Amino acid sequence: MQLLIPAILCLLGCCCLGGGTEARWYESILMVPNGGPWGSWGHKQLCPSGYAKGFELKVQPFQGFWLFGDDTALNRVRLLCTDGAVIESSVGGWGNWTEAQLCSSNRLVSFSLRVERWQYLRDNTAVNNVRFSCSNGSPLEGWGLSGGHFSPWSKNCISGAICGLQTKVEKPQGKWDDTALNDMRVFCCE
C-alpha cells in the first residue's frame, strides 16, 4: 500500500491537457528559485506533440520614473512548438512582441528568469527577461529588460525537452503598482 500511493500521485501529477483534446504526459517540472511574489498561476499549456523549439516575449519598454509611468517589463512568454503550435499560459496586457528566438538544435531543455526583487517605495517589475538553453548547449536570451538578476539555470530535462509552460501573472492593479509576469515553470516531455 505504501508504494501504491506515491505511484498514484505521480500518475495524477504527470498528466496535463494541452491545447488539443488528447492528454499529453510530461515527465518533470523545471523551476527556478527567484520568481516574484505577486499574482496567480495560470493553466498549464503543453505542445500538442513535439517540443518547444523557441520562444517570443511581450515586453513593455521603460515607462519613466514611477510617478510618471508604471513599468511592468515582461508580460507574456510564448513557446513555439515543433508541431507548429504556439502556446502561452497567463498573460499581462502591456508591451510589444519581440523577435522570436529559435534553437538550431530544435529543442529547449532548461531556463532562467531575470527578476527584479521587491523594492520598497519604488516601481516593481518582477520578471524582466528569460533565457533558455538549447539541447546543443547554446543559450538563447530574450529581448527583455535589464532590471534584476538572472537566476541560476533550472535543471535540464532528463530526456526529451521542454514541451510546455505555466506562468504566474499579477492582474492589473488599477492606480497601484503593476508587475505582470512574476514567475514561470516549464514541463519536460520524452
> How would you class 47 by CB atoms within 10 Å of its CB: exposed for 0-12, middle for 13-18, buried for 19 or more?
buried
Q: Which pLDDT band, with edges at 50, 70 and 90, does 139 fall under?
A: very high
Number of domains in the chain: 1
Query: Is the pLDDT higher at 146 or at 137?
Result: 137
Q: What integer pLDDT is reported at residue 3 of this predicted model?
A: 42
Is residue 11 predicted with pLDDT exceeding 60? Answer: no
Q: Which domain holds residue 47?
A: 4-189
Going by DSSP bridges, is the β-strand pair 108-115/40-41 parallel, antiparallel, or unpaired?
unpaired
What residues contact 37, with CB distance under 8 A and at least 6 apart? 118, 182
The enclosing domain of 36 has a CATH number of 2.100.10.20
How far, in Å, CA of 43 to CA of 105, rounded?
Answer: 28
Is residue 171 predicted with pLDDT exceeding 90? Answer: no
Query: Is the pLDDT higher at 42 or at 13?
Result: 42
Grid look-up 513555439 returns 80
The 10 Å Cβ neighbour count of residue 110 is 21
How far, in Å, CA of 124 to CA of 66, rounded?
Answer: 9
Q: What integer pLDDT is reported at residue 164 of this predicted model?
A: 98
